[in-house]
């Protein structure tokens, strides 16, 4: 039986913070390879009919213009959920591996520290993949641009590892969640099922280019960071982006006590 204050304790839906307001990109800032922070080249990121859309209609060809849209705050102990789907055709000359490919970047570097020509933020990527119509292609995988993690007690240095999720073909909506507990554990979920778990997210490894060396302190554990969503050449839509803080007042006598918190910050308690 889990302890009383376990993160397994359900949270009321109203406790989730809506990072995406369904109306516009308030609170979000794009960073596209080759462009300054805030330059939303080609209207890559936009909101239509309550959905955040990533599209490439104004690209003649993709030309390695990988993009990310960053939320304004950083977080340490939390659960983030997105509801996403892949639609349409990939951008002209998008790389083959990026077919129906996007991601949730957690524990990322601040976008202000990225180089203008940097391709990916130093971060932990929860890779979102859609099925190609045949075969197996899991989602909520792990990729590690400029990072490493620990799995089964050993430092994991390959760039990506697949989850145990099912393959999701077509244009159906999928709910992916990530539970991030500082520098201890990270867990991936798809439609409520845990599909991957690892520990000790940290800076290290490769698979990121044109970064400022000062931002890449190999071996440094990641206790907090930015959150961003990817544009990797295939159109993708997000109808929900929400976050549940898992750090806060753990005094049961306080008015703002939450039984699902896993880390105490009793300076926030309201008596």
Query: Confidence class of residue 8 from pLDDT cuts 50, 70 and 90?
Result: low
What's the average model confidence in pLDDT over 38-53? Answer: 98
What's the average model confidence in pLDDT over 213-236? Answer: 98
Query: What does the pLDDT read at residue 5?
Result: 37
Query: What does the pLDDT read at residue 108?
Result: 98
Q: Which fold has domain 13-268?
A: Jelly Rolls (2.60.120)
231-267, pLDDT tens digit by residue?
A: 999 999 999 999 999 999 999 999 999 999 999 999 9
Taking 90 as the threshold, does the pLDDT of residue 61 lie above it? Answer: yes
69-122, pLDDT tens digit by residue?
A: 999 999 999 999 999 999 999 999 999 999 999 999 999 999 999 999 999 999
Domain edges within the chain: 13-268
Q: What pTM value is reported for the model?
A: 0.94
158-208, pLDDT tens digit by residue?
A: 999 999 999 999 999 999 999 999 999 999 999 999 999 999 999 999 999
Query: What does the pLDDT read at residue 55?
Result: 97
Query: What does the pLDDT read at residue 178?
Result: 98
- Burial-class residue 40 by CB neighbours within 10 Å (0-12, 13-18, 19+): middle
Query: What does the pLDDT read at residue 9?
Result: 78
């Amino acid at each position: 039986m889990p302890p009383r204050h376990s993160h397994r304790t359900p949270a009321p839906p109203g406790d989730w913070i809506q990072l995406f307001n369904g109306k516009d990109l308030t609170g979000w800032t794009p960073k596209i390879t080759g462009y300054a922070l805030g330059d939303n080249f080609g209207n890559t990121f936009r909101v239509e009919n309550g959905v955040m859309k990533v599209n490439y209609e104004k690209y003649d060809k993709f030309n390695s213009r990988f993009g990310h849209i960053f939320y304004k705050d950083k977080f340490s102990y939390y659960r983030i959920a997105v509801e996403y789907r892949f639609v349409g055709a990939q951008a002209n000359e998008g790389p083959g591996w990026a077919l129906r490919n996007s991601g949730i970047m957690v524990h990322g570097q601040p976008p202000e520290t990225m180089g203008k020509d940097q391709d990916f933020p130093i971060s932990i990527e929860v890779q979102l993949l859609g099925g190609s119509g045949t075969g197996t292609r899991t989602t909520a995988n792990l990729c590690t641009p400029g990072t490493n993690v620990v799995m089964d007690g050993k430092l994991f240095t390959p760039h990506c590892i697949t989850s145990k999720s099912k393959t999701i073909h077509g244009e159906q909506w999928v709910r992916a969640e990530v539970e991030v507990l500082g520098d201890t554990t990270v867990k991936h979920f798809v439609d409520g099922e845990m599909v991957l778990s690892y520990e000790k997210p940290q800076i290290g490894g490769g698979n990121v280019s044109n970064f400022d060396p000062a931002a890449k302190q190999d071996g440094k554990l990641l206790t907090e960071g930015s959150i961003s969503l990817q544009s990797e050449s295939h159109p993708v839509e997000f109808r929900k982006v929400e976050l549940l803080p898992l750090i806060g007042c753990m005094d049961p006598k306080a008015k703002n006590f939450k039984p699902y918190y896993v880390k105490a910050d009793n300076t926030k308690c309201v008596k």
